[in-house]
Structure 1
Amino acid sequence: MRPQNRAILKPQNPRGDKPYLVYSVYLVCSVYLVYSVCSVDSVYSVYSVWTVLRALSKELQARGRILPKTGLTEIG
C-alpha cells in the first residue's frame, strides 16, 4: 500500500469543534419537535420548542466563542 492511500484512509476531522453533546441535544430536540407536532396543541408546542432551540443555539454559539478549538463543552 502506498503512503498516499494510507493518508486517504485515515479518518479526518478538520474542524473538530462539534462535540457529541451538541449532536445529542439536537437529536433530542428534533424528536421532541416531531412529538409536539403530533400532539393536540401543536401550535403552542412548536412555538415553545422553537424558543428552546433558539436559546440553545445562542448558548452554543457563545460557548463556541469561549472554547473555539478544544472540541469540549464545559457544563457547570
Structure 2
Amino acid sequence: MLGKVLTSRALITDGFNSLVGGVMGFSILLSAEVFKHNAAVWYLDGSVGVLIGLTIFAYGVKLLIDMVPRVRQTRHYEMFE
C-alpha cells in the first residue's frame, strides 16, 4: 500500500517479493505437517515451490513489459561521454 501511495515501483516490487516469501514459508510449514500425517503427498512442497517460481517469473516478465515504454522515452536523451 505504501508503494502505491508513494508511486514507487521498487517498493511495490519489494512488497510483492516479501509476500511471496511469506507464502513460501507458510507452504513449507503446511506441507511438513501434511507429510507427517500422510506420506503419500510427498510432492506437495515441490509443487508449491514450482507454482511460486512461476508466479515470480510471470511478475518479472510483467515488470519488463511495463518498463519498455519508459526505456523508449529516455532513448533520445543526451548521451554522457
Q: TM-score, normalised by structure 1?
A: 0.57
Structure with the largest fraction of helix: 2
Considering only CA atoms, is the larger Rg found in Structure 1 or Structure 2?
2
Correspondences of 1:20-31 after superposition (within 5 Å) = 20-31=11-22
Q: Which runs of 4+ in 1 moved over 2 A?
A: 66-69
* Identical amino acids, percent of aligned pairs: 6
> C-alpha displacement at 1:44, in angstroms?
1.1
Q: Which amino acid aligns with 2:30?
A: S
Which runs of 5 or more residues in structure 2 are unaligned? 1-7, 32-43, 75-81
Equivalence for 1:45: 48
Aligned positions, number: 53
TM score, norm. by length of structure 2: 0.54
The corresponding residue for 1:7 is none
- Unaligned residue ranges in structure 1 (runs of 5+): 1-16, 70-76
Q: State whether structure 2 residue 24 is matched by structure 1 residue 33.
A: yes
Amino acid in structure 2 at the alignment position of 1:31: G
